[in-house]
């Protein structure tokens, strides 16, 4: 868990958040033990902003990973859960556990089902 917390907090440092000032980092654990990271990247056209969680997933997929177990999401202040779009993407790739952490390393773990109780996945096709 410490390696994932460290990776998420480090990824947060690279966030590009000139508009909101709200930096987020994520570290995603693949089933093979690999860790993929991402940070939020804002855009003047807010709809083009990409969250840290999706960036971590897309980074893993770009490297050939499609099966993930757990993600750690790091942000300042209160523990900040992923948005609905990110939760759905996490669901697509099998993430079961979402851990939220702040800069003081206070963290809490949730199941994806707690955060997204009614969802749509590949098995629904």
d(CA 79, CA 42) in angstroms, rounded, equals 20
**Do 109 and 97 meet the contact criterion of CB atoms below 8 Å apart?**
yes
Q: What are phi and psi of 25, to 5 degrees?
A: -125, 155
Secondary structure of residue 31 in the 3-state scheme: coil
Q: Residue 69 catalytic?
A: no
**CA 94/CA 113 separation, integer angstroms:** 11
HSE value, Cβ hemisphere, 13 Å, CA-based, for 62: 9
Out of 13, 42, 53, 104, the active site residue is: 53
Q: How far apart are CA 95 and CA 116, in angstroms?
A: 11
Which sequence positions are flagged as catalytic?
53
């Amino acid at each position: 868990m410490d390696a994932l917390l460290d990776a998420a907090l480090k990824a947060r440092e690279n966030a590009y958040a000139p508009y909101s000032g709200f930096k987020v980092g994520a570290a995603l654990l693949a089933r093979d033990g690999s860790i993929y990271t991402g940070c939020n990247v804002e855009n003047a056209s807010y709809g083009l902003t990409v969250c840290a969680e999706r960036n971590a997933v897309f980074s893993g997929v770009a490297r050939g990973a499609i099966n993930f177990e757990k993600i750690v999401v790091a942000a300042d202040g209160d523990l900040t859960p992923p948005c609905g779009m990110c939760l759905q993407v996490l669901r697509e790739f099998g993430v079961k556990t979402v851990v939220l952490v702040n800069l003081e390393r206070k963290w809490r773990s949730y199941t994806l089902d707690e955060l997204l109780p009614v969802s749509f996945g590949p098995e629904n096709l």
